[in-house]
Amino acid sequence: MLPCAVADATDQISEEHRGAISVFRSRDYALLWMVLMASSIGSWLRILGTAQWLLEDTGSAWQVGAIGVVQLMVQFPALLWGGTLADRFDRKRLLQLSNAATALALLALGGLLLLDGLTPAVVYGGVALTAISHVLAAPARSALVPMVVPRRLLLPAASIETASQNVAAIIGPLIFAALAATAGLGAVLMTGGLLFLCAALLAGLLRVAGHAEGHEAQRQQSAWKQTKDGLSYVAGHKILPGLFLLDIGITVVSFYRDILPVLALGLFAGGAAVSGYLGAANSVGAVVGSFAALLFVGYRAKGMLVLYASLAYALFLFAFGAASTLWFGLAMIALLGAADAVTVAVRHTTVVLTTPDQMRGRALSLMFLAANTANNLGTIWVGFWAGAIGAANSMLLGAVLAAVATVAIGFFWKQIRVFRSDD
């Protein structure tokens, strides 16, 4: 019986891998994937480039953490309206224009830095503009995927999405480290702008009709009513509110990606190169975790899977904060990425599979809203505590609170514990 069971499991995994590859037979999906890769790499150059410049110019972990304040102020309203726009207008045009706006902002920042005209206020302004354009593009691009991929291939496509973003997050920090060391931060920001320009041009090549089902009828309604309808749909969903709340509870107390330069300096006395290595290691782990999630395709208790992965995340975060060598720190931040990738894949797949097309942009935007709000609050939190009690202690504190949040939400939110993937 055991050999047969192993063979069945192997066949299932192989089938999922074949499905993941077959999504690229769609020309439009291949273009969307290239848009994702270009914009994801460009985002890392923006994140690390602006954080590194602020740290070098001001020497303040608090001012780096203020990036989260700026992004929080602009992303909340932008995401609420971004999902409505994605359901109301042409998604591919929205994707194209948003990436073009990000490109122009980054090229301007890079040019000012090369001309020695950059100031913290200008950087915060650039961060605000790119944060708005990024969150307008995200739900539009994600809502286009189910329009070009058959429903049976949505789960493999979601695995590719998660893995690809993390592959980009390996490439991005490595490019950042190389450019920062050889050409300077101005070249980092300019390169990010060129990548977003490529993303905008690729989006313009899409052939799919970018409008949601029933978009003409929806445009007869006010945008405000559509936004409220999206909020009501997600609020009444049996699993999404709990998953979003779990993500917020953990991320707020532990988010580290936007302030890797602070952690590199505080934990390992390193500069831009160490920041790049930490980001790359985290993403290597996330890529492995993304593909490892395919092993759990047949595991029906997806809610419990998220809880298990969240507890593992808290454990690895504690070990990262206690790391005494860079090599051990790289290993732990890689495991952090792997645990987080499982939760990301489950959330994204659940939204796509359980939401009708005419509501998908708004549901996805609220998923991004929860994630981005948590990221920004987490940047503020970790930046503050890193400045107040040190980088290592801020990670240890976050680990303890993340474990408490996971146990509490899992206990009080029964829907997560009982959720099954075929419910």
The residue ranking higher by pLDDT, 239 or 109, is: 109
Mean pLDDT of 27-37: 92
Domain assignment present for residue 393? The answer is yes
31/80 Cα distance (integer angstroms): 26
How many structural domains is the chain composed of?
1
Nearest to 351 by CA among 238, 255, 246: 238
**pLDDT score for 262:** 83
Q: Is residue 13 part of a domain?
A: no
In a domain, 190, yes or no: yes
What is the Cα–Cα distance from 300 to 306, expressed in whole angstroms? 12
Q: Is residue 394 part of a domain?
A: yes
pLDDT tier for residue 233 given thresholds of 50, 70 and 90? confident
C-alpha 33/C-alpha 417 separation (Å) is 33
Q: Which pLDDT score, from 0 to 100, does residue 423 have?
A: 52
The answer to which of 112-121, 219-228, 396-405 has the lowest mean pLDDT is: 219-228
Q: In whole angstroms, what is the distance from residue 150 CA to residue 115 CA?
A: 49
* 126 has a pLDDT exceeding 90: yes
- For residue 15, being part of any structural domain is answered with no
Q: Model confidence at 123, in pLDDT bands (50, 70, 90)?
A: very high
Contact 405, 343 (CB under 8 A): no
**pLDDT grade, residue 243 (50/70/90)?**
confident
Highest mean pLDDT among 184-188, 266-270, 369-373: 184-188
- Is residue 4 a part of any domain in this protein? no
Q: Could you give the CA distance from residue 297 to residue 285 in angstroms, rounded to a whole number?
A: 19
Give the domain extent around 139: 23-208+221-418
Q: What is the pLDDT of residues 264-306, one digit of tens each?
A: 888 888 887 888 788 888 878 888 887 776 676 666 777 788 8
Average confidence score pLDDT of the chain: 82
Please give the residue that has the higher pLDDT: either 318 or 155: 318
Q: What is the pLDDT of residue 191?
A: 96
Residue 3 lies in a domain: no
> Is residue 99 included in any domain, yes or no?
yes
Report the CATH number that the domain containing residue 385 is assigned in CATH.
1.20.1250.20
Query: What pLDDT digit, counting tens, does each position of 11-28 carry?
Result: 444 444 455 577 788 889
